Amino acid sequence: MSQRRGSGRPTIADVARAAGVGAITVSRAIRRPEQVSRELRERIDLAIRELNYVPDPQAQVLASGRSNVIGVILPSLTNNVYADVMQGIYDRIEGSGFQIQIANTRYSEDEEDRLLQLFAGQRPAAMLITGIDQSDATRAYLAKADFPVVQIMEHAPDPIDMLIGFSHVEAARVAVRHLMEEGSRRIGFLGARMDPRMLRRREGYRAQLREHGLYDPAREAMTSAPSSVSQGRALSGRLFDAASDTDALFCANDDLALGALFECMARGRRVPEDVAIVGFNDLEMMAAAVPAITSVQTHRYRMGKMAIDMLIDRIEEREVPERGVDLGFQLIVRESSRRG
Amino acid sequence: MSQRRGSGRPTIADVARAAGVGAITVSRAIRRPEQVSRELRERIDLAIRELNYVPDPQAQVLASGRSNVIGVILPSLTNNVYADVMQGIYDRIEGSGFQIQIANTRYSEDEEDRLLQLFAGQRPAAMLITGIDQSDATRAYLAKADFPVVQIMEHAPDPIDMLIGFSHVEAARVAVRHLMEEGSRRIGFLGARMDPRMLRRREGYRAQLREHGLYDPAREAMTSAPSSVSQGRALSGRLFDAASDTDALFCANDDLALGALFECMARGRRVPEDVAIVGFNDLEMMAAAVPAITSVQTHRYRMGKMAIDMLIDRIEEREVPERGVDLGFQLIVRESSRRG
DNA sequence: TTGGCGTCTGGTAGCGCTACCATCACGCTA
DNA sequence: TAGCGTGATGGTAGCGCTACCAGACGCCAA
Which letter does DSSP use for residue B154 in this model?
E
Q: Is residue B334 within 8 Å of B278, Cβ to Cβ? A: no
**CB spacing of B62 vs A62 below 8 angstroms:** yes
| DSSP per residue, A125-147 | SEEEEESS---HHHHHHHHT-SS
Quote the CA–CA distance of A70 and A305 in Å, as a whole number.
13
State how far the Cα of B317 lies from the Cα of B320, in Å rounded to an integer. Answer: 9
pLDDT tens digits for range A86-126: 999 999 998 887 889 999 999 999 999 989 878 876 778 99
How would you label A69-78 residue by residue, b for 16+ Cβ within 10 Å and e otherwise? Answer: bbbbbbbbbb
Mutate which: B12, B70, B285, B286, vs A, most A CBs within 10 A: B285
What pLDDT shows up at residue B6?
64
The phi and psi torsions of B322 (rounded to 5 degrees) equal -130, 130
Q: How far apart are CA A146 and CA A135, in angstroms?
A: 19
Tell me which amino acid residue B330 is: Q
Going along chain B from its start, the domains and CATH numbers come out as 12-55 (no CATH), 69-166+300-327 (3.40.50.2300), 168-297 (3.40.50.2300)
Helices (H), ranges, B154-194? 168-181
- Lowest-confidence pick of A189-193, B15-19, B54-58: B54-58
Instruction: Give the amino acid at A328.
Output: G
Picking from A290, A226, A288, the residue whose alpha carbon sits closest to that of residue A253 is A226
Q: In this structure, how many other beta carbons lie within 10 angstroms of the beta carbon of residue B246? A: 23
Rg of chain A over CA atoms, in angstroms? Answer: 26
Interatomic CA–C1' length for residue A32 and nucleotide C5, angstroms: 23
Work out if B35's Cβ lies within 7 angstroms of strand C.
no
**In whole angstroms, what is the distance from residue B164 CA to residue B154 CA?**
7
Among the listed residues B303, B315, B294, the one whose alpha carbon sits nearest the alpha carbon of residue B251: B294
Range with the poorest average pLDDT among A154-158, A205-209, B37-41: B37-41
- ∠ CA A68-A74-A79, nearest 5°, is 130
CA of B249, C1' of D13: distance in angstroms:
69
Mean pLDDT across the stretch A255-284? 98
For residue range B253-286, list pLDDT tens digits in order.
Answer: 999 999 999 999 999 999 999 999 999 999 999 9
Question: Which residues 8-37 in chain B have a CB closer than 7 A to strand D?
Answer: 20-25, 28, 35-37
pLDDT at B1: 31
Q: Is the distance from CB of B286 to CB of B254 less than 8 angstroms?
A: yes
Q: Which of A117-121, B36-40, B131-135, B163-167 has the lowest mean pLDDT?
A: A117-121
Distance from C-alpha of A307 to C-alpha of A325, rounded to nearest angstrom: 10
What are the tens digits of pLDDT across the range B153-209? Answer: 999 999 999 999 999 999 999 999 999 999 999 999 999 999 999 999 999 999 999
Residue A13 Cβ < 7 Å to strand C: no
Contact of A100 with chain B, judged by CB distance below 8 Å, is answered with yes
Reduced 3-state DSSP string for B78-126: CCHHHHHHHHHHHHHHCCCCCEEEEEECCCCHHHHHHHHHHHHCCCCCE
Summarize the confidence of residues A309-320 as an average pLDDT: 90
Q: Where are the alpha helices (DSSP H) in chain B?
A: 12-19, 23-31, 38-51, 57-64, 80-93, 109-120, 136-143, 168-181, 196-211, 229-242, 254-267, 285-288, 300-315
